[in-house]
């Protein structure tokens, strides 16, 4: 493709772009693969595509006027001026005047490291601030427009996610569980690690267990410093799942060989009815 002012030749197989600019009488050679890689990395530190292109052009042209950057990047005039001003505010480009002409030059590329450090500090501060206002934001949400938050997992590898979520509980966890099915499907090391963390975090659990000899033996040997159990008649409430109730959440673990599913539902009304039901059944259940 050849024009009166420019000659552009692109060879995709060699990954080389040759750009001939008569106005400064030289050929600029850009290795396409490296150029794309540099663009991508610059965008990872929160420069958008136009900022990255303009910054790279300013590095190549160095102490230059805006119209040369426009030619180099093929971006619109207004776009280049707008993003140059933004790069100046980010301390990545310096604007100066020489003989009544405005010129732009990039600051030392090492400034990018400083820029990234500032972003990391800003993100950390924003995370702390968000943690403070998040409860208030949730209260502002229109209750008539609120839908339950539902997370569903279908692979055995995700089971740890369900258990780890309960380690954030700020209250006693209420749990229904079929102990036989739980031990059949849950790795003992993973369960022991979970119990250890729960003890360290001082998170107490109340269990409603199906009353079987296996369940009673399991509970007799269980660490009771952070757990208490009562028993349900197997004929009255047969089930093959585990359900945990805590912090406005209900988590379900289906202990079955085919198509197991793990679900976390977060909803105030669903939480309240399950918690109230558990407390009612708890009072009616048999102590060990």
Give 93-155 as a DSSP string. EEEEEETTEEEEEEPPTTHHHHHHHHHHHHHHHHHHHHHHHHHHHHHHS-TTT---EEEEE-S
Q: Is the pLDDT confidence value at 115 over 70?
A: yes
Question: How many CA atoms are closer than 13 Å to the CA of 272, on its beta-carbon side?
Answer: 3
Verify that 187 and 246 share a domain, yes or no: yes
What sections of 142-228 are H helices per DSSP? Answer: 159-166, 179-185, 188-200, 213-220
Contact 31, 15 (CB under 8 A): yes
Contact 209, 229 (CB under 8 A): yes
Q: Is the pLDDT confidence value at 201 over 80?
A: yes
The 10s digit of each residue's pLDDT in 47-92 is: 778 888 888 888 888 788 888 888 888 888 888 888 788 888 877 8
Contact 249, 270 (CB under 8 A): no
Residue labelled with tokens 């963390």: 197
pLDDT reported for residue 32: 53
- CATH number (domain holding residue 25): 1.10.10.10
Q: Which of 21-30, 44-53, 142-151, 176-185 has the highest mean pLDDT?
A: 176-185
Determine what percent of the chain is predicted with pLDDT higher than 70: 82
Q: State the average pLDDT over residues 133-160.
A: 72
**Bigger pLDDT: 235 or 283?**
283
Give the whole-angstrom CA distance, residue 209 versus residue 30. 69
How far, CA to CA in Å, does 224 sit from each of 76, 204, 205, 216, 288? 71, 10, 10, 13, 12
Verify that 190 and 69 share a domain, yes or no: no
**Bigger pLDDT: 275 or 68?**
275
In a domain, 51, yes or no: yes
Verify that 52 and 175 share a domain, yes or no: no
How many structural domains is the chain composed of? 2
Residue labelled with tokens 């952070």: 226
For residue 242 the two structure tokens come to 């585990």
- Give the model's confidence band at 34: pLDDT under 50 very low, under 70 low, under 90 confident, else very high: low
In a domain, 190, yes or no: yes
In a domain, 193, yes or no: yes
Q: Residue 186: which domain range?
A: 149-287
For residue 125 the two structure tokens come to 């501060």
In a domain, 180, yes or no: yes
Q: Is the pLDDT confidence value at 237 over 80?
A: no
Mean pLDDT, the chain, integer: 78
Verify that 103 and 188 share a domain, yes or no: no
**Bigger pLDDT: 39 or 17?**
39
In a domain, 120, yes or no: no
**Bigger pLDDT: 7 or 46?**
46
In a domain, 1, yes or no: no
């Amino acid at each position: 493709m050849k024009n009166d002012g420019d000659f552009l030749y692109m060879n995709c197989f060699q990954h080389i772009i040759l750009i001939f600019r008569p106005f400064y009488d030289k050929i600029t050679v850009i290795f396409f693969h490296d150029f794309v890689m540099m663009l991508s990395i610059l965008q990872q530190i929160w420069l958008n595509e136009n900022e990255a292109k303009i910054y790279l052009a300013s590095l190549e042209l160095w102490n230059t006027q805006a119209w040369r950057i426009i030619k180099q990047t093929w971006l619109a005039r207004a776009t280049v001026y707008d993003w140059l001003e933004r790069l100046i505010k980010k301390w990545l480009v310096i604007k100066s005047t020489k003989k009544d002409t405005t010129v732009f030059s990039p600051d030392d590329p090492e400034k990018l490291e400083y820029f990234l450090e500032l972003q990391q500090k800003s993100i950390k501060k924003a995370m702390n601030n968000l943690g403070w206002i998040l409860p208030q934001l949730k209260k502002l949400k229109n209750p008539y427009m609120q839908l339950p938050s539902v997370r569903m997992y279908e692979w055995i590898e995700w089971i740890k996610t369900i258990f780890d979520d309960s380690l954030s509980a700020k209250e006693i966890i209420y749990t229904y569980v079929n102990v036989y099915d739980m031990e059949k499907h849950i790795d003992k090391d993973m369960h022991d690690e979970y119990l250890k963390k729960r003890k360290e975090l001082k998170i107490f659990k109340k269990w409603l267990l199906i009353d079987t000899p296996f369940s009673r033996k399991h509970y007799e040997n269980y660490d009771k410093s952070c757990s208490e159990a009562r028993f349900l008649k197997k004929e009255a409430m047969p089930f093959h799942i585990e359900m945990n109730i805590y912090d406005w959440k209900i988590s379900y673990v289906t202990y079955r060989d085919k198509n197991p599913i793990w679900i976390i539902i977060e909803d105030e009304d669903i939480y309240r009815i399950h918690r109230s039901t558990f407390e009612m059944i708890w009072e009616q259940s048999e102590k060990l």
